[in-house]
Structure 1
Amino acid sequence: MSSPASLASIAVAFSIALPSLVLAAETRCGWIDNPTPRNWWLEDSQKSWTIMTQDPDRPEGPEGMELIPDLTEGEFIEINGPSYGYACVCMSVETDGDERITSILSVDQLRLAQCRSDKALPSRD
């Protein structure tokens, strides 16, 4: 059985660690591109973020890839066959701080008009 002091120590440790975990998530909104199999990028107002490439060292992509919905069921621009193209999304992600999305926490597909009207994003079409 744990003593009240050790339980208090554990609670303090969690309360210190929790804010750093919460701060790790970033909201990134912009164009999500899937031009060919296993190639994914997100282009937001700051830069182009690599989600996944045909990299043999990272064949499964980041944790949370399964959270990307079937983009063809929403507003989607087909560019390379029926399953490949781009859409507008907001994603909660973790990044390496440089160029790569390392974990996907959630994905919401938006109307194309939302990205098209955002002057901070590159224009499409």
Structure 2
Amino acid sequence: MRKILPLALLILSSHAFASELRCGWLQNPTPSNQWLIDKDGTWDISLQGGYSAPGIEKLKDFPDEQFVKTNGNYGYGCSCIRVDVNKSDKKVTQIYSSKVLPLSRCETDKTLPKP
């Protein structure tokens, strides 16, 4: 048991360090379609009728003043999310946490495209 515990802690801690903090435009243009656009590209979070990343319920709702509506109640905001990703598929594979940022943060970030 004593030898297993340190190994288990090592495995769990290495998993925690594998997550990435990605910041950019969190877009939700239509029901069940969500993605993050950051300096590295567009990362699928959920696609209607298909994929949905585990932990999606951890994405924070945007306050009205930090959300741009583009289609009824759908639109985009600025956010940082702690995630695991599949880089070759550009897909978020796990969401751990999220934080809403002011729109101005993404608007002034020269590494981000316009939403």
Instruction: Tell me the TM-score normalized by structure 1.
Output: 0.83
Higher strand share: 2
Paired positions, count:
114
Distance in 2, Cα, partners of 1:33 & 1:48: 10
Shift of 1:44: 0.4
The residue that corresponds to 2:99 in the other structure is: 108
Report the 3-state secondary structure (helix = DSSP H, G, I; strand = E; otherwise coil) of the residue aligned with 1:71: coil
Superposition CA RMSD, Å = 1.5
1:80 matched to 2:82: no
Shift of 1:72: 4.6
**Counterpart amino acid of 2:103?**
L
Identity of aligned residues (%): 37
Return the alpha-carbon distance in structure 2 between the equivalents of residues 123 and 101 of structure 1. 21
Amino acid of the residue matched to residue 90 of structure 1? Answer: C
Shift of 1:23: 2.2
Aligned to 1:4: none
Name 1:16's counterpart in structure 2.
Answer: 10
Structure 2: which 5+ runs fail to align?
Answer: none
Counterpart of 1:88 in 2: which secondary structure? strand
My pick for the range that moved more, 66-75 or 23-32, is: 66-75
CA distance in 2, matches of 1:70, 1:26: 20
Deviation at 1:69, TM superposition (A): 2.2
Give structure 1 regions of 4+ aligned residues with deviation exceeding 6 angstroms: none
Match 2:19 to one of 25, 33, 41:
25
1:34-113 maps to which residues of 2 (within 5 A)?
A: 34-56=28-50, 58=51, 61-81=52-72, 83-98=73-88, 99-113=90-104
Whether the 8 Å contact between 1:74 and 1:109 is mirrored in structure 2 is: no
Q: Per-residue CA shift, 1:85-107, capped at 9, x if unaligned?
A: 00000000111122100111001
Q: What does the per-residue CA deviation read over 1:97-122, in whole Å, with 9 as the maximum and x for residues that have no partner?
A: 22100111001010000001111001
Q: TM-score under structure 2 normalisation?
A: 0.90
Show structure 1 runs of 5+ residues with no match.
Answer: 1-6
One-letter amino acid of the structure 2 residue matched with residue 63 of structure 1 = P
The amino acid that maps onto 1:30 is G
